[in-house]
Amino acid sequence: MIIKSQAIEGVFLIDIQKNVDERGSFSRIFCERELKESGIDMSIKQINLCENLKKNTLRGMHLQKEEYAEKKILTCLNGKIFDVIIDMRTNSKTYLKYFSVELSEENGYMLVIPEGMAHGYVTLTDDTKLLYYMSEFYNPDSAIGYRFDDPAFSIHWPQIEELIMSDKDKNWKYI
């Protein structure tokens, strides 16, 4: 695992090292010791699998209120997504700044998202599958979100036509 810190504090991109031979491949996708050595301290309370049927599906921008704030590690197991996180920590020097990256089964990257970040993505291919490691249990009463197209964030999304979104995501408020 090659773990690289990013411009937003607590955000890391992990390059999974794939060992390939005539049988196939083997990759370590979680190692508590290696993560801790890089400053990532996380206990896993929940693992989620998210499947998206169609290209242009947008989910976000989601987070949980502070008392249930969660750290996430996610990867794209199938297909490709454009992933975005926004720093919503008011005491952070990168407050309202965002980080984006393409995650795909080809690049195998994993993204570490610290507490206090709004998270969302748009699928760039049909049939995408994402695996999430969560530091907290989901609490529906604590779930909040923001508009993906809020001008306060100035996110440069890929050119997408006819987004597929839930009504909930369509109706999040602007900041």
Catalogue the active-site residues.
62, 132
Cα separations (Å) of 12 from 28, 52, 123, 139, 164?
16, 24, 21, 25, 28
The encoded tokens of residue 135 equal 């530091």
DSSP reduced 3-state for 68 = helix
CB 52 within 8 A of CB 121: no
Alpha carbons within 13 angstroms on the beta-carbon side of residue 112 total: 29
